[in-house]
Amino acid sequence: MFPTQSLGYDRAITVFSPEGRLYQVEYATEAVRHGPLAVGVKAVDGVVLAGEKRTPHSLVDISSLKKILLIDDHVGTAIAGLHADARKLIDQARIRAQINKLSYDEPIMIRSLVVDICDTKQLHTQYGGARPFGVSLLVAGIDDGGPQLYTTDPSGSFWGWKAAAIGKESDIVREFFSREYKEGLNLNGAMKLALEGLAQSRGEPGEADISERAKTVEIGTISIEDKIFKILTPEEVEAALTQE
């Protein structure tokens, strides 16, 4: 992806190359592409997030790893990239959500939260002494505009999606979603499509034992009925994988 010599243009985030590239931002994007896969699918009645967990060592307790996290009652996120960077951004997002609730007595709009996250990311692409955040977030929730699904990039860019994937093999999964996504999808259909998307990076869905797969998969959902983002228990994940 990168030339063997970038002629020093990658030594500082504030320096553009003659082609108009910021190499440090591209390096951060590459860190995201090497992170475990996370997917999101928006339905007419909610949103589903799903992600894979990968351990850095066989002795690591995989239950201690978190792929999907709660930001506020009505919004959650899935991460791909550097978890330490994600932790900082998610902590900031939680504070921003609480400030909005205390100031205006209403949940924060999903787009406003995403813009705030991306403002922080963008600031880290233009000041010396800092580096870009090497993480992308899938942000899902429900507000006055209905179900919402966004991605945030290391550059500070963001997009709204019907179905999205970040992390390793995300290009393959996005192509799968572009073929299989149907308008008017309900939450159960979105769950099935999200798990099928995860399976695209593994090969055949049935090649691994369901109980073992359930230990490495996290799922989060939110429905327009209660507007509460829920992270499924391991037993619920196993049940969802059984119906895949």
Mean of the per-residue pLDDT values of the chain: 91
User: In which band, very low, low, confident or very high, does the pLDDT at 3 lie, cut at 50, 70 and 90?
Assistant: low
List the domain range (segments joined by +) for residue 95. 23-242
Length of the chain: 244
Rounded to two decimals, the pTM is: 0.91
The sign one gets for the Cα dihedral 188, 111, 99, 146 is negative
In a domain, 9, yes or no: no
In a domain, 16, yes or no: no
User: Does the structure show a pLDDT above 50 at 4?
Assistant: no
| 8/37 Cα distance (integer angstroms) | 32
Q: Which of 38-47, 116-125, 202-211 bottoms out in mean pLDDT, i.e. has the lowest?
A: 202-211
In a domain, 4, yes or no: no
Residue-wise pLDDT tens digits, 128-181: 888 999 999 999 999 999 999 999 999 999 999 999 999 999 999 999 999 999
Sequence letter at residue 2: F
In a domain, 6, yes or no: no
In a domain, 93, yes or no: yes
* Interval 217-225 mean pLDDT: 97
140: domain CATH number is 3.60.20.10
Residue-wise pLDDT tens digits, 73-93: 999 999 999 999 999 999 999
CA torsion, ordered 171, 214, 182, 188, to nearest 10 deg: -160
In a domain, 2, yes or no: no
In a domain, 234, yes or no: yes
Number of domains in the chain: 1
In a domain, 90, yes or no: yes
Q: pLDDT at position 244, please?
A: 64
Output DSSP code: residue 233.
P
